[in-house]
Amino acid sequence: KVEQQEKKVANAGKEIEKLNSKLDKAEADLEKMQAKLDKSIARGKLTEVETQKENVKITKQQLKIKELEEDIVKAQKKLEKLKR
């Protein structure tokens, strides 16, 4: 029983680490997307429609980041519950 509990705590910890690394990657991707868009706009290479499409992609990435942050909070709560 104690071993199962320890295993669950370890797995919850691994889940948090995995989510944190996903979050880091998603944030880095967002920065790249934003930089690419800013660069293209500065060069005047994008049409109005292309600019809007890129903005939609960026918004979707921001949403993905928010979802990952929520998942991390849930995983941390789960870990705290398991430690009790």
pTM over 0.75: yes
Q: Show Cβ contacts of residue 69 under 8 Å, excluding neighbours closer than 6 positions.
A: 23
pLDDT 10s digit of each residue in the chain, 84 long?
788 888 988 999 999 999 999 999 999 999 999 999 999 999 998 999 999 999 999 999 999 999 999 999 999 999 999 888
Tokens 């691994």 sit on residue: 14
Q: Torsion-angle region of residue 63: left (phi > 0), alpha (psi -120 to 50) or beta?
A: alpha
Residues in the chain: 84
**Dihedrals phi, psi of 46, to nearest 5 degrees:** -100, 145
What tokens does 3 get? 């071993």
